[in-house]
């Protein structure tokens, strides 16, 4: 399994990239300036069984 960490995953391009890569089976690490905003994309990534959150 390939792994990727996305910086700025709370919105915009980072959020969409996280969804796309998780859907393709990547293990996706999410990080963002605002922790609360990473919760929404984390849910989408977790649905694809390939995500983790970097606080």
Give Rg (Cα) of the chain: 9
| Residue-wise pLDDT tens digits, 7-29 | 887 788 988 888 888 888 888 88
Q: Which pTM does this prediction carry?
A: 0.67
Total tally of structural domains belonging to the chain: 1
Which structural domain range is residue 40 located in?
Answer: 3-53
State the average pLDDT for the chain.
Answer: 75
pLDDT at 48 over 60: no
Judge residue 42's burial from the number of C-beta atoms within 10 Å of its C-beta, 0-12 exposed, 13-18 middle, 19 or more buried: buried
């Amino acid at each position: 399994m390939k792994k990727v960490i996305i910086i700025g995953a709370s919105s915009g391009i980072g959020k969409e990239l996280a969804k796309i890569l998780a859907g393709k089976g990547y293990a996706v690490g999410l990080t963002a300036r605002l922790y609360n905003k990473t919760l929404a994309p984390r849910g989408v990534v977790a649905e694809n069984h390939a995500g983790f959150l970097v606080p």
